[in-house]
């Protein structure tokens, strides 16, 4: 009898030990996405030892029984080890980055779920870079917070400069409003920081923001990140895209470019489980740019029909209207000009004007946000000008009146894109709102009215959707399809027509705008003169019939053409656009059977490999 009781007690104790082992292992296993092999092994040993000790307290274990128990636990451990291996994350994760004009955001796709990575509990960071007095650099909130103290050394809006020429009239206009200095070098805009010998290209500023986001992601994932999908406005031209890629390279990221509205559409599409076809309009009004896209979505297939927008329309423009208004009101009331000294040659006057304007602007932006939920607010800044305290009532109505022209422009552009997509507004099934400025009630009202009272969709997060979609695309692009719950196929279109200048300065379009990418189109040209040995090609993008009024992307010569009469020698010009909008041109002289192929590799003004390498080094020095 005693013996039987003993046996029973041992059996129960062994069972308890297994249950204990399993429960403990499971607890640790569930607490983390993945455990290092050594960590799991250690857990197994520790839990196993405790299980044996506990059992020994209950019953007398023979050496054989102990061995048996250890074997049982080892089998259990092997199961955990296998499961753990399956959960093992890839050595590197690819991240999705929404590099915004005013705010940026980073996300990653892990095991089919997208995680927008927070930084100090916020999911977006201001796209601000500050060069500090001690030769360090701050990025994001830290940089924006001190912007009014060091306005000449705090850089924002790099996205407005990137890939543009110094002579661009948009650059000239923007410069008037920036407190930092931009100079031209070979028609390239460069940012000059007081006390710095070097000047910085906008690519280097954007690289700092990207670098910061990369670090946030690496800290979160506890892994090095080298691959990314970085989004750009659909309206970005080729040189703006290339420059964004270069910025990523400086930040140590190998990047693919994705259009922002397409990215938002991916995020939107993932909400749907049904497969019916829908026509979707993405309305993205952010801080700096306005983007519209009409897409057709069906079971993960995203077909972009048309895109459009304005590279210079957004929340910052609304802020500017508020600042101008406040200055006028104060001038009328007190005779004081809060904007004085802005263009002064006296550095001290200029500095104090910058500081004043910066403070007004920052309060205006905050109050503007409030006006989306309340109808009136007050702009208060103590001692804005010596002892003068600013205290002005500001109503939503005033805000709307000041910006009505801007708001109406958004609707006009939207209408144009729907026409480009060969649709009527009644064909649009969903209107998806993206970007911080879509919270403005008047915008929503005008849009609803335009669509005949149709409800707007705000199921995706207006601030995070772009980064969200980019994270999904990153997982797909970098071979981690199993990380994504639903497959997505994107087919995008070219934002601008691409062509070549022909006789008489006309633009001969080879790839019309809104052509699906990737694409390749060939066009034939002939020599113009007798015995012509060389043909010059100038490549442009834009919609103007005159080439010179479009944006010149580059030029090249095709030489070595055999001697012949005018028109006898034929040249094939092929333009190819990759799926991320980056493009190449090849010219082939037919009679030489393609041996004279020239590819446009670099843009006028694009950073050279050498420049990128030295910018990369410089970037690391600040760290």
DSSP single-letter state for residue 556: E
Whether the CA torsion 478, 484, 490, 495 is positive or negative: it is negative
Site string for Mg ion, 278-297 (x = CB under 5 A): --------x-----------
Nearer to ligand ADP among residue 100 and residue 202 (C-beta): 100
| Residues in a beta bridge with 322 | none
- The yes-or-no answer on residue 260 being catalytic is yes
- The yes-or-no answer on residue 284 being catalytic is yes
Q: Which residues of 148-163 are buried (b: 16+ CB within 10 A; e: fewer)?
A: bebbbbbbbbbbbbbb
Which of 48, 100, 314, 554 is the binder for Mg ion (CB under 5 A)?
100
Nearer to Mg ion among residue 73 and residue 417 (C-beta): 417
Give the nearest distance from C-beta 289 to ligand ADP in angstroms: 6
Cβ-based neighbours of 18, under 8 Å, separated by 6 or more: 51, 69, 72, 73, 76
Classify residue 374 as exposed, middle or buried by CB count within 10 Å of its CB (0-12, 13-18, 19+).
Answer: exposed
State how beta strands 570-577 and 519-526 pair: antiparallel
Whether the CA torsion 166, 517, 311, 468 is positive or negative: it is negative
Which of 202, 315, 339, 605 is the binder for ligand ADP (CB under 6 A)?
315
Nearer to ligand ADP among residue 234 and residue 440 (C-beta): 440
Site string for ligand ADP, 89-108 (x = CB under 6 A): -----------xxxx-----
Q: Which does 289 bind (CB under 5 to 8 A by kind): ligand ADP, Mg ion, none?
A: ligand ADP
Give the nearest distance from C-beta 101 to ligand ADP in angstroms: 4
* Alpha-carbon span 191 to 128, nearest angstrom: 14
Of 157, 246, 260, 464, which is the active-site residue?
260
Nearer to Mg ion among residue 286 and residue 309 (C-beta): 286
Which of 278, 351, 369, 590 is the binder for ligand ADP (CB under 6 A)?
369
Cβ-based neighbours of 621, under 8 Å, separated by 6 or more: none
457-486 binders of ligand ADP (CB under 6 A): 463
Given the rule CB under 5 A, which of 94-102, 382-390, 481-489, 491-499 is the region that contacts Mg ion?
94-102
Give the nearest distance from C-beta 440 to ligand ADP in angstroms: 5
Q: If binding is defined by CB under 6 A, does position 569 make contact with ligand ADP?
A: no
Main-chain phi, psi angles of 413, to 5 degrees: -60, -40
Check: CB of residue 580 under 8 Å from CB of residue 263. no
- The yes-or-no answer on residue 98 being catalytic is yes
* Alpha-carbon span 16 to 56, nearest angstrom: 12
Which of 252, 436, 495, 499 is the binder for ligand ADP (CB under 6 A)?
436
Q: Which does 439 bind (CB under 5 to 8 A by kind): Mg ion, ligand ADP, none?
A: ligand ADP
Nearer to ligand ADP among residue 122 and residue 617 (C-beta): 122
Check: CB of residue 109 under 8 Å from CB of residue 472. yes
Nearer to ligand ADP among residue 304 and residue 443 (C-beta): 443
- The yes-or-no answer on residue 159 being catalytic is yes
Residue 518, phi-psi category: left (phi > 0), alpha (psi -120 to 50), beta (remainder): beta
Check: CB of residue 199 under 8 Å from CB of residue 191. yes
Catalytic positions, written as ranges: 98, 159, 260, 284
Which residue ranges make up the site for Mg ion (CB under 5 A)?
A: 100, 286
């Amino acid at each position: 009898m005693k013996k039987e009781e003993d046996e029973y007690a041992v059996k129960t104790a062994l069972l308890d030990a297994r249950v204990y082992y399993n429960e403990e292992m499971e607890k640790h296993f569930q607490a983390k996405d993945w455990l290092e092999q050594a960590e799991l092994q250690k857990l197994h040993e520790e839990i196993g030892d405790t299980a044996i000790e506990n059992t020994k307290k209950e019953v007398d274990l023979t050496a054989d029984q102990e061995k048996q128990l250890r074997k049982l636990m080892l089998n259990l451990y092997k199961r955990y080890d296998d499961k753990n291996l399956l959960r093992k994350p890839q050595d590197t994760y690819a991240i999705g980055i929404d590099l915004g004009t005013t705010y940026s955001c980073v996300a990653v796709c892990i095991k089919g779920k997208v995680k927008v990575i927070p930084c100090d509990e916020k999911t977006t960071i201001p796209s601000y870079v500050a060069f500090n007095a001690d030769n360090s650099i701050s990025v994001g909130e830290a940089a924006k917070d001190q912007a009014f103290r060091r306005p000449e050394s705090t850089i924002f809006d790099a996205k407005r400069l990137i890939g543009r020429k110094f002579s661009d009239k948009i650059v000239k206009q923007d410069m008037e409003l920036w407190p930092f200095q931009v100079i031209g070098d070979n028609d390239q805009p460069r940012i000059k920081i007081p006390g710095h010998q070097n000047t910085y290209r906008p690519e280097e500023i954007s690289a700092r923001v990207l670098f910061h986001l990369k670090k946030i992601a690496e800290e979160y994932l506890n892994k090095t990140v080298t691959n990314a999908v970085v989004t750009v406005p659909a309206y970005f031209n080729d040189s703006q895209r290339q420059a964004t890629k270069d910025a990523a390279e400086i930040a140590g990221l190998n990047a693919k470019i994705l259009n922002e509205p397409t990215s938002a559409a991916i995020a939107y599409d993932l909400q749907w489980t049904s497969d019916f076809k829908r026509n979707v309009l993405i309305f993205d009004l952010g801080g700096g740019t306005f983007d519209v896209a009409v897409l057709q979505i069906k079971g993960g297939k995203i077909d972009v029909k048309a895109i459009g927008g304005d590279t210079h329309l957004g929340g910052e423009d609304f802020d500017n209207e508020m600042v101008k208004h406040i200055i006028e009101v104060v001038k009328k009331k007190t005779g004081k000009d809060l904007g004085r000294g802005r263009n002064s040659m006296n550095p001290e006057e200029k500095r104090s004007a910058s500081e004043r304007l910066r403070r007004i602007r920052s309060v205006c932006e905050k109050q503007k946000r409030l006006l989306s939920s309340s109808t009136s607010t007050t702009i208060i800044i103590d001692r804005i000008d010596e002892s003068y305290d600013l205290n002005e009532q500001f109503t939503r109505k005033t805000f709307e009146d000041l910006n009505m022209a801007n708001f109406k422009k958004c609707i006009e552009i939207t209408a144009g894109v729907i026409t480009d997509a060969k649709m009527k507004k009644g064909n649009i099934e969903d209107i998806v709102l993206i970007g911080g400025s879509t919270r403005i009630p008047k915008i929503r009202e005008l849009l609803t009215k335009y669509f005949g009272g149709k409800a707007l969709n705000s199921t995706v997060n207006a601030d995070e959707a772009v980064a969200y979609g980019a994270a999904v695309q990153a997982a797909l692009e970098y071979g981690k399809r199993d990380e994504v719950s639903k497959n997505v196929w994107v087919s995008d279109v070219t934002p601008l027509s691409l062509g070549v200048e022909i006789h008489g300065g006309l633009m001969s379009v080879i790839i019309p705008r809104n052509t699906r990418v990737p694409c390749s189109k060939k066009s034939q040209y002939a020599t113009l003169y007798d015995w012509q040995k060389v043909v010059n090609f100038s490549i442009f993008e834009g919609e103007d019939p005159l080439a010179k009024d479009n944006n010149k992307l580059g030029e090249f010569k095709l030489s070595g053409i055999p001697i012949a009469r005018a028109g006898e020698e034929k040249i094939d010009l092929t333009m190819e656009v990759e799926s991320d909008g980056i493009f190449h041109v090849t010219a082939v002289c037919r009679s030489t059977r393609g041996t004279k192929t020239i590819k446009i590799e670099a843009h006028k003004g694009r950073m050279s490999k050498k420049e990128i390498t030295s910018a990369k080094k410089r970037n690391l020095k600040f760290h």
